[in-house]
Amino acid sequence: MTEQNVPADEQTESLYQRAISRRSVLAGAAALGAVLAVPALACGGKSDKSAFSSTTQAPGTTAASASSSTTAKASTGGAAIPASGQVAIDFTFAPSGGGMVKNPYIAVWVETAAGKFVDTVSLWYSTGKNERYLSDMRAWVSASGGTDKSMSSATRNPGAYSVAWDGTDSAGQKMPQGDYVFFIECAREKGPYEVISQPMTIGTAPATATPADKGELTKVSMTYKP
């Protein structure tokens, strides 16, 4: 990963720099998130083993539990995200090119519209001597400080995956309703590097967003069910 040569034209402005600079404009961009009503995806819990799993059926085919009409306040003030509220994040990792493919390091996390880190939804990386490559997850490291590994697991093979954010921060406290930005970062040895970000409004209405494919990350969708 870090030991690979990068073409000169890709060095002009690294994706890391874009990931950092985007924090200054996210507050305005978050208002652009789509707000279409869609079926819910049932993924949940704070366990990476249960939340991040290979999918063999079409997204949206599993019914979610009934939503809660809570009036509770979040720890940071304001009406909290409903108790049953969750954002399902689906994507496919499809390697480009031939030959042997190294499994990617992938991070999925949430920030506020102002760029404040909220929680790591899931994190793939290899421990041991290969843990040094975790620093290649430059946007996630910058956002989280590189220490929020509570949702970590081993790397995965190419395929379709789904993970869900349950509306809480890294301490397990419900966040307030409002604008958030969801990220997927992918880095692979001898492969490309991509970061996808998507603003969404999380409140009392369902919402969905479908960011454009980027490199080896395809078929990305983010679906909120209150």
pLDDT of residue 30: 39
Task: Write the CB contacts of 101 (distance below 8 Å, at least 6 apart in sequence).
Answer: 95, 158, 188, 191
Distance from C-alpha of 153 to C-alpha of 65, rounded to nearest angstrom:
26
Q: Where are the alpha helices (DSSP H) in 24-72?
A: 26-29, 48-51
Could you report the per-residue pLDDT of 187-216, keeping only the tens digit for each?
A: 988 778 999 999 999 999 999 999 999 999
- For 8-220, give the CATH class: mainly beta
Residue predicted with more confidence, 40 or 105: 105
Distance from C-alpha of 111 to C-alpha of 119, rounded to nearest angstrom:
7
Distance from C-alpha of 42 to C-alpha of 63, rounded to nearest angstrom:
6
Pairing of strands 159-165, 53-54: antiparallel
pLDDT (average), residues 21-41? 36
Query: E-strand spans in 55-116?
Result: 86-93, 105-112
Give me the residue spans of the domains in the chain. Answer: 8-220
